[in-house]
Copies of this chain bind each other. A is one copy, B any other.
Amino acid sequence: MNKKHEFRMKVRYIDVDGMKIVHNSRYFVYFEEARLDLVEKENYPYKQIEDDGFIVPISESRIFYKKSIYYGEEVAVITWLEYLKNFSMKFKYKIVKDDGAIACEGYTIHAFIKTDTMDFIELPEKLKDILIKYVENS
């Protein structure tokens, strides 16, 4: 279905560094906020995922920085998936500035781990059900 999730946020003062721009590490926090907002909007909030006994640790993360982001800006973090596989999934992100310019593009790759044994498991059905519509070209 190629659905994309949009998470709008106001850039916080605490996130800018001594150059008065959002620090490179904070982009990953914005990605996380968008991802957690997506699952919550799909009625499968992070707390429920935890209660269901698994976690989705990140195995790889990457960002291509295009334009600086400043305090007070309202930005949109667009989130979707490149793939959903048996043992991994890849989220893609784009942060769009108020004027439409792209601030960055990036992705995070996740695995699935059962909390009690800390063993890798296959993609849980419940997660697949809510995410499948965000997979591109699917």
Contacts and interface: CB of A to CB of B under 8 A. Distances in A.
Given A13-B17, A14-B33, A18-B71, 15 more contacts: A12-B33, A13-B32, A13-B36, A14-B23, A14-B32, A17-B18, A25-B25, A25-B32, A40-B72, A46-B71, A46-B72, A57-B65, A58-B65, A60-B62, A60-B65
Given A18-B18, A23-B14, A25-B32, A64 B60 contact: yes
Which secondary structure characterizes the binding site on chain A? mixed
Given A46-B71, A62-B62, A55 B19 contact: yes
A47 interface: yes
Interface residues of A, number: 35
A94 to B, nearest CB: 15
A61 interface: yes
Given A33-B13, A64-B60, A65-B57, A24 B19 contact: no
21 contacts: A13-B17, A13-B18, A13-B32, A13-B36, A13-B46, A14-B17, A18-B18, A18-B20, A24-B28, A25-B28, A25-B32, A46-B71, A47-B71, A57-B68, A59-B64, A59-B65, A60-B62, A60-B64, A61-B63, A61-B65, A62-B63
